[in-house]
Amino acid sequence: MNDVTVAVLGTGGIGRRALELSTHKEWLTPVAACDRHGIAVDHEGLDVAELLAATEGNIASGDEPGDVETDGGAAVKRSGAGKGVAASTQADSTETPIDDVIEKSDTIDAVLVALPNLEHDFIPRVTDRFVDADYEGVLIDVLKRSRVIGMLDEREDRLVDSGITFVCGAGATPGFLTGAAALAAQSFVDVESVDIRWGVGLRSGYEDNRGTVREDIAHLDGYDIETAREMTDAEIEDVIDEHDGVIEFTDMEHADDVLLERAGICDADDVSVGGILDVRNDEKPTTTTVTVTGSTFDGERATNTFQLGDETSMAANVNGPAIGYLKTGVRSNRNGVYGVFGPAELLPGF
């Protein structure tokens, strides 16, 4: 496969790890990265090491310029004249980072949308901006919420007309585990249930994983996506403290359900997603497991189980599949296949 150039929208935990992973992929060249305050572009390839070093502990947020960020109680260095990407010597400050990336997108094969999902229509609205700018290529995200898939489907005709291949929900769950369920389902002619149970350990804590933790808290009883979005960092920390750093989730609105349904695996109502998040330890509080129960063509009822190794990090399980789906998306796009696709649709058909 020919080389692929990529832009990364958002340099929080997912965006940073995607950039780091790109240095292990000879075929993948990051040429643009942005956050809310800055943009770095080099069509020959960004200096990823410099960008990550300059922004370590200095991720752009809504904090006042004089605030000191901390990690486990210790002050974290601040680099350069600005926050986040703007601290890099390769970057410029900007008030319109996404528009600036779009303006440079003619030679960008794929765009990883590593942005928060705390407004249901945020990623769909970002998609509209690429369509309006006549972008041709691949958009890929790691969104979590089921309802966002429908918003993207509503845009499919425009995406096809524009020559865009959109791979949605392509992280760990949904994404990696959605694909595992789709493969496990191949043994059956009828799938009764899919149960996804994840475990994540984040010793680096809320500070380095703000978007992920905040989105997960929106699934707790008494919270929703609107209340989680409005919570202060201190209020998020209070919720973490109330659970002693270990938070359990059940019946989550994760897009695995609609993504498996659209691939013909099972009804969305037959899919359940839950998990345990430990914000203070890297060791996973439970093994991440996918169980698919169904009946075979010869009348047997069985359960296929897929487990992730406890040693693999959340960053590896999100960004590895995302980059893999990105590569598949680019191959499809170069073959003239446009529209909206979920992870399970890029695997053997059921």
Q: Which residue has the higher pLDDT, 172 or 81?
A: 172
Q: Which residue has the higher pLDDT, 339 or 70?
A: 339
Q: Are 177 and 289 in contact (CB under 8 A)?
A: no
Q: Locate the DSSP E strands across the chain.
A: 4-9, 28-34, 38-41, 70-71, 74-75, 91-93, 110-113, 137-141, 164-167, 190-201, 246-249, 271-278, 289-295, 301-307, 339-341
Query: pTM for the complete prediction?
Result: 0.89
How many helices (H) and strands (E) would you count in the chain?
12, 15
Could you read off the pLDDT of 227-282 as tens digits, one per residue? 888 899 899 999 999 999 999 999 999 999 999 999 999 999 999 999 999 998 88
**40: pLDDT strictly greater than 70:** yes
Q: Are strands 110-113 and 137-141 parallel, antiparallel or unpaired?
A: parallel
The catalytic position among 215, 254, 261, 327 is: 215
Could you read off the pLDDT of 61-94 as tens digits, one per residue? 544 433 444 333 333 444 445 678 998 999 999 9
The catalytic position among 144, 254, 284, 327 is: 144
- Cα separation, 285 vs 310, in Å, equals 9
The catalytic position among 37, 83, 207, 219 is: 219
Give the pLDDT of residue 116: 76
Whether 95 sits among the annotated catalytic residues: the reply is: no
Task: Tell me the three state secondary structure of residue 222.
Answer: coil
Q: Which of 37-46, 90-99, 198-207, 300-309 comes out lowest in average pLDDT?
A: 198-207
Percent of the chain with pLDDT over 90: 72
Could you read off the pLDDT of 293-323 as tens digits, one per residue? 999 999 999 999 999 999 998 889 999 999 9
- In this structure, the number of other CB atoms found within 10 A of the CB of residue 337 comes to 12
Question: Predicted confidence band at 60 (pLDDT cuts at 50, 70, 90)?
Answer: low
Spell out the domains of the chain, with CATH numbers in brackets. Answer: 4-173+316-346 (3.40.50.720), 179-310 (no CATH)
- Cα separation, 150 vs 131, in Å, equals 17
Whether 327 sits among the annotated catalytic residues: the reply is: no
Give the pLDDT of residue 81: 55
Type and span of the H or E element at 16? helix 13-22
Residue 88's closest CA among 44, 31, 33, 45?
33
Give the pLDDT of residue 76: 41
**127: pLDDT strictly greater than 70:** yes
Could you read off the pLDDT of 88-118 as tens digits, one per residue? 999 999 999 999 999 999 999 999 999 877 7
Query: Which pairs count as long-range contacts for 346-349, CB under 8 Å and 24+ apart, including other chains?
Result: 346/167, 346/179, 347/179, 347/182, 347/183, 347/263, 348/182, 348/183, 348/186, 349/263, 349/264
Angle, helices 314-334/176-184, rounded to nearest 10 degrees: 70
Whether 219 sits among the annotated catalytic residues: the reply is: yes
* Cα first-last separation, the chain: 27
